[in-house]
Structure 1
Amino acid sequence: MHVETVIAGFGGQGILFLGRVLATAGMIEGYHVSWFPSYGPEMRGGTAYCVVIISDQEIGSTLSDHPNICIVMNEPSLRRYAPSIKPGGLLVINSSLITQHYKDPKIQILEVPGNDIAGNEIGDPRTLNMVILGALIGYHSTVKDESIRQALEEILSGKKRELIDVNMKAFYAGKNSISSLGSGLDS
C-alpha cells in the first residue's frame, strides 16, 4: 500500500488536525508515515494544507505532486489541488461549501455535506474535519476505525480528552453518510 493524501482548506477547518489524526493512525498500524503540514501566515481564514503519506515501503519524499486522494474543504482548494489527482484517484469534496459540481472522468468524486453533518447532526461545527475523515475511511479504508480512536487518544491529552467521544461520533456520522455508495478506491 502507498497512499498519498493532500488535505486542503481554510485555516480553522481542522485541516492539520485531520492530517495528524490520519498520520498517527497509520503509525499505530505500523506503516511508514509522513505528515507535512503547511499554512499561510493568516492561520484562521488563510489557506492551510497538509500532505499525509501512508505506505508499507519507506517514503522517499514528503511532498506529493500527484496524490491518490485529495480532500478539499473550500472552492480555492478545489481549483488548486483537484487537477493534480492521479488517474483512478479519489477527490473528497466538502459539498456544504463547494457548490461547483466538479467533473473528471479519470477520478472518483465523493461529495460530503461536511458542515451540514457537523452542525446539524453532531451539533458542533468544529467536528467538520472528523466528519470528512469518516467519509474518507468509509469509502477507502486507508486505516481502521479503531486506529482513529487510538490516534485521538494519543493526540488529545489532558482536558482535551473529553473531545474524543464527540470526534468519534462525527467520524461515524461521516462514515455512515456515504454507506450507500459502498467502498470504492483500491489501495
Structure 2
Amino acid sequence: MYQDVMIAGFGGQGVLLVGKLLAHAGMLEGKHVTWFPSYGAEIRGGTANCTVIIADREIGSPLVQNPSAMLILNEASFKKFEPRIKLSGDLFLNTSLVQQPPTRNDLHRIEIRANDIAEELGDIRIANMVMLGAFLKRT
C-alpha cells in the first residue's frame, strides 16, 4: 500500500490540518507516514499546501513531485498544481471556489461544493473536513 496526496489552498482554510489528520490516522493504523507542509509568510490568505504519504514500507523521501491524488480548495492552487498530478490521478476539486474547468482529460475528477456544504451544515470553517471526507470515501 502506498498513497501520496497533496492538499492545497490558502492560509486559514485548514489545509495543513487536513494533512496532519491524514498523517495521524496513518500512524494509528501502524503505517509509515510523512507530512510535509509548505506555506507563505502570511498567516492567513497566503498560499498553503502539504503532502502526505502513507505506506506499508519505509518512505525514502517526504517530497512528492507528482501526487496520485490532490485536494484543491481554491482557484489559485488549482492553477498552480493541476499540472503536477500524476497521470490518471484523482483530483478532488472544491467547486464552491474553483470555477475554471480542468485542462487535463486524464484525471479522475471528483467535484465537491465544500464551502456550500459547510455553510449548509452551519459553519464555513469545516469546508476542509468536507473535502477530507470526500477523499476518505474515495480511498
Q: TM-score range by the shorter chain?
A: over 0.9
Q: Paired residue for 1:130? A: 129
Task: Work out the CA distance in 1 between the residues paired with 2:90 and 2:64.
Answer: 14
Aligned to 1:113: 113
Whole-angstrom CA distance in 1 between matches of 2:105 and 2:2: 22
Q: Larger helix proportion, structure 1 or 2?
A: 1
Q: How far does residue 88 in structure 1 lie from its aligned partner after superposition?
A: 2.1
Q: Residue 102 of structure 1: CA displacement? A: 1.1
With normalisation by structure 2, the TM-score equals 0.97
Identity %: 50
Instruction: Output the amino acid matched with 2:49.
Output: Y
Q: Which residue does the alignment assign to 2:81? A: 81
Distance 2:8 2:20 in 1: 13
Q: Distance in 1 between matches of 2:31 and 2:104?
A: 31
Aligned-pair RMSD on alpha carbons?
A: 0.9
CA drift at 1:37: 1.2
Q: Structure 1 counterpart of 2:27, which letter?
A: M
When the two structures are aligned, how many residues end up with a matched partner? 139
Counterpart position of 1:143: none
- Residue 104 of structure 1 and its aligned partner are, at CA, apart by 1.9
Rounded Cα–Cα distance in structure 1 between residues aligned with 2:58 and 2:43: 31
Structure 2 letter corresponding to 1:16? L
Q: Match for 1:127: what amino acid?
A: I
Q: Displacement, 1:105?
A: 2.2
Equivalent residue letter for 2:8 = A
| Greater Cα radius of gyration, structure 1 or 2 | 1
Distance of 1:14 and 1:29 partners within structure 2: 23
Cα deviation 1:133-182 (Å, max 9, x = unaligned): 00111112xxxxxxxxxxxxxxxxxxxxxxxxxxxxxxxxxxxxxxxxxx
